[in-house]
Amino acid sequence: MATIRDVARRAGVSPATVSYVLNNSGPVRPETRERVLRAIAELGYHPHAGARQLKRRRSDTMGLILPTGERRLSDPFFLELIHALGDACADHHLDLLIATCRDPAADLRLIDRLYKGRRVDGFLLIDLQRQDPRIPHLQQAGIPFVAFGRVEGNGEFPWVDVDGAAGMREAVAFLVGKGHRRIAYLSPPLSFTFAYHRFRGYQQGLIEADLPFDETLVRITRLTMEGGYEAAWALLREGIRFTALIAATDLMALGAMRALHEAGRTPGQDVAVIGFDDIPMAAQAHPPLTTLRQPMDQIGRALVRAWQAAVNGESLPPTLIPPTLIRRESA
Residues 6+ apart with CB under 8 A from 330: 253, 257, 267, 268, 272, 273, 274, 285, 287, 288, 289, 290
Specify the pLDDT at position 188.
95
Looking at the domain that runs over 164-293, which CATH code has it been given?
A: 3.40.50.2300
Specify the pLDDT at position 29.
82
Phi, psi of 214 (to 5 degrees): -120, 110
Closest by CA position to 32, among listed 21, 48, 19: 21
Query: Would the CATH topology of 4-47 be identical to that of 61-162+296-323?
Result: no
Specify the pLDDT at position 54.
45
List the domain boundaries for the chain: 4-47, 61-162+296-323, 164-293
Distance of CA 146 to the CA centre of its chain: 11
Whole-angstrom Cα distance, residue 67 to residue 126?
A: 9
| Blockwise average pLDDT, block size 10, the chain, 331 residues | 82 83 72 87 71 59 78 77 91 88 75 89 90 89 93 81 97 97 97 95 98 97 94 96 97 97 95 96 96 96 94 89 97 93
Whole-angstrom Cα distance, residue 219 to residue 233?
A: 11
Query: Residues 160, 319: contact at Cβ < 8 Å?
Result: yes
pLDDT tens, residue by residue, 64-101: 987 766 556 678 888 899 999 999 999 888 899 988 87
What is the CATH topology of the domain spanning 61-162+296-323? Rossmann fold (3.40.50)
Specify the pLDDT at position 2.
76
Whole-angstrom Cα distance, residue 174 to residue 289?
A: 14
Phi, psi of 319 (to 5 degrees): -120, 120
CATH superfamily of 4-47: lambda repressor-like DNA-binding domains (1.10.260.40)
Query: Residues 188, 230: contact at Cβ < 8 Å?
Result: no
Closest by CA position to 124, among listed 144, 142, 100: 144
